[in-house]
Amino acid sequence: MTAAGAAQVERQKTRGRTGRNRRAGFTLIELLVAFVVMGLVLAAVYRGFAMAFDALSRLDSAERRVAVAENRLAELGVIIPLAPGRYDGVEAEHAWEVTVTPLPVLPDDKTRALGVMPARIEVRVHPLHEEASFRLVSYRLMPLSTTAEAAR
């Protein structure tokens, strides 16, 4: 082989190694690595969104329990009688229970003149298919006539 032929073969080898004659693009291995990296990123993003939606669902359920308890407390004395006792029911897939208990206070002349007695009101709300519950406690004045009726 002559010196000119050897130089030409060397140029062809160099040209192949540097890629000047190769088509521009990615190798199969580079594409596979890129797909694996994208898959890992998408899996992490999906898990983050799933956790966020789960937390939002639990928060929404808690807000509904609070709303049901507040509704029952607002209805007390209007729809639900403000008298000692226990009342229960179901609303929007939540079971509720209202307990009205007169406070152990001896009525004096002032409370008899006003015709009222203090009472402790407890509202418990829990979803029908879960154990978690919400409790709301309030104090109100109730008429003495309902206390006397309950004592009979």
pLDDT tens by residue, 51-67: 988 887 777 778 888 88
pLDDT for the residue 80: 76
Hey, what are 123's tokens? Answer: 């509202």
pLDDT at residue 99 in the model: 92
Residue 117, helix vs strand vs coil: strand
pTM of the model: 0.57
Residue 77 DSSP label: T
What is the distance between the alpha carbons of residues 7 and 21, in angstroms, rounded to a whole number? Answer: 17
pLDDT at 48 over 80: yes
Q: Write down the mean pLDDT value for the chain.
A: 80
Q: Please list, in sequence order, all residues whose beta carbon lies within 8 angstroms of the beta carbon of residue 70, skipping any fewer than 6 positions away.
A: 136
> What percentage of the chain has pLDDT greater than the value 90?
24
pLDDT at 44: 93
- pLDDT tens for residues 89-144? 888 788 899 999 988 776 666 666 777 888 999 999 988 887 778 899 999 888 87
At 152 the pLDDT is 47
